[in-house]
Structure 1
Amino acid sequence: MLEALGLSATGAVVYRAMLDHPGHGVDEIAAQCALSPTQVHDHLDELAGLMLVRASADHPGRMRAIDPEVGLADMLARQEAELAARQARLAASRAAVTRMVADRAEHRATHGEHLLGMDAIHARLEQMGHSTTSEVLSSQPGNQRPEDLTASRPADAKVLARGVTMRTLYQDSTRHQPHVTTYAHWLLSQGSEVRTAPAIPQRMVIVDRAQALVPIDPADNRKGALHVTEPGILHALLDLFEQAWNTAVPLGAAQPDDPATGLTPTERELLRLLGTGLTDDAAGQRLGISSRTVGRHMASIMERLGAASRFEAGIKAAHKGWL
C-alpha cells in the first residue's frame, strides 16, 4: 500500500525492519531483509528523501525510523497538497480551454464561417467529427486521393465506434479505383452505408442535420469551404443529398442497364449532360471520367443508334426518348 505514497516495496521492508528493531545497524538490517549493505544504504537514502528516517542522536552514523503516525501522516499531507495543486492546475487549464473555445466561437461569429485553406478545412472536419452524436452524410464527387482516404480512416473509425450512422455517396467511376473500393468496403464493414451514382451533388459533409461543410468553389475544393448552420440552407442541402441517395445504387450491387434503352446509368447521364451543351471535358468532370472515356461511351452509343455523327445521334436519341 505504501507504494502509492512513493515508497518502493523493498524500501517499505527496510522501513518496517527499522521500526521493529530500532537498535539494528546497516549490516543487521541487511541480513534481516536479505539485502546487501549497499542496497540498504540506497533505501536509507530513499527513506530520508521521504522524511521517514533521521540521523540518530544516540547512535552517531546511524539512522532512526520516524514513527508511522508522524512520518506517514506527513507523507499523506504532502501527497494531498501535491494533488490539490495538480487539481488547481487542471481547473485552470480547463478554464483556459473553455475561454479559448468561447473566443474561437466569437471569432467565427464575427468573421464569418469561411474556412480558407486545407488546414482550416481539416481542423473544422475534426471538430465536426468529434462533436457528432447521430449521423454523418457526405457526398464525395470526383476522384479520391489515396492519401486523403488514409488520413480520414482514424477519424471515421472513432465516429463509427460511437454508433454514429454514416452514409457516403461516391460516383460510379470510383468503382474502378481500387483504393476507393477498398476504403468503401472498410466503411461497409464498420456498419456504414455507401452508394454510387453517375453524377452526384457537389462535395458536402452534413453532421447531425445541424451543420454542414461545402466548398466555396466547387471547381476547386482546396480554395476553402463554407461552414453552414442556417436551417434554410441545411434543409436544401439535405433535400439534395436525399434525392441523390434515393437514386444511387448500393456499392456491390449490380447496375442494370435500362431495359427500354439498353443504356447504362453512366451513358444515360452522359447523354443528358451533352444534351445541355456541355463539352466532353465538362461532362467528364461531372461524371468523374476522362474525356477519352466520354469519347468511348459516345462511340458505343452512336454505333447502337446507327448514327454517323453526334448531331445525328442526338436527333435519333431524342426520337427514341433517350433524352
Structure 2
Amino acid sequence: MLDRLGISAGIEAVYWAMVENPTWNVDELATSLDVPEAVVHDAFSALADQALVTPSPGREGNLRSVSLRLGLLALLHQAEQQIIAQQAKLLAARASVLARAASHDIHREREEIVRLEGPDTVWERLAEHACTASESIMTLTTGRAMPPGTIETSKNLTRIALSRGVTIRHIYQESTLDDAGSRAYAELMAKQGEQSRVMTEAPVRMTLVDRQFALIPIGSRSCRGALEIRGSLLVSTLCLLFDLLWERGMEFPMPANADRDGLTEQTVAILRLLRQGRTDEAIGRQLQLSERTVRRTVRDLMRRLDAESRFQAGVEAALRRWI
C-alpha cells in the first residue's frame, strides 16, 4: 500500500510490524520478519527520515511508530506537495513556451510583447508602473540573493506603490532569504505593508502589474533586459501561476521578540524538539516551518553553543537553561 507513497515493501513490513507490536525490539522484529537485524536498522533510518518513527520516551535507545493516522497523513502530505511542485513546473513550462511562440508570431500586434533593453530601461518601466498601477503588483523573486542596487531601487518603488494604496504581493524563493541583505529587505517591506510568502523552489522571476502587464527577465541574467507582455492570454496564464504559487507558499516568518539570551519563541521550540532527537523535517512539520528554516536555525544554534553535534547542542542548551 505504501509503495505508492515512496515506501518500499521491506520498509513497509517493518513499519506494520512496529504498529502491531509496539514493544518489540530490533531482535524481535528481525526474528518475526525473518530478516537480518541490519535490514531492520536500515528500515528504522528510512522511517525516521519520513517521520514515521520517533524515540520511545519509556524505553531509552528504542524507537516507536508514530500515530498511524499522523504517519500516513504525513506521507500523503509529502506526496501532495510533490504533485503541487510538478504542477507549478508544468505551468511555468507552459508560460515559457507561450512566451517563445508569441515572440516569433508575426501575426500578433506589435505592442503585445515589448523588449526592454538593459537594466536601466527595465527600472524606468517599473518606476512608471509603481506610479500608475491602480490595483496590484505581484512579484516573484528567485536566485541566491538580491543585488544591493536592486534592493535600494526596489525599496523606493515599493514605497511609492504602497503609498498610493496599491496591494503588493511578493513571493520569495527560500534560498534568496538565506542572504542577510535580501532577508532584511523582505522584513522591512513586510513591516511597511507588503504581503509576503516563501517557497522552497520558485520556477521563474516575474512582476505582474494590475493583471494586465507582465515583466519577465530575458535569459538568466536580468542585466540583458526584460520582455514586457501586455494584455494577452499569456499574462492571464502567468497570473494563474502566481495565484497557485501564492496559495501553496508559506507565510513569511517575521522575527519574533527575543528574550534576554537573544532567543525567540521559535528558536526555543526548535531546541526542545532537537533535544528529543527529531529530524529537521519533523521539526518543521510540527512548527509549520520549512526544512531550510529549521536547518539554518539549528546551524546557528550549534555555532552559538560551540556544539559539534545536534545532541550536544541540546544538552548544552539545557545546561545553560535555555530550555
TM-score of the superposed pair, with normalisation by structure 1: 0.44
Larger Rg: 1
Greater relative contact order (Cα < 8 A, sep 6+):
2
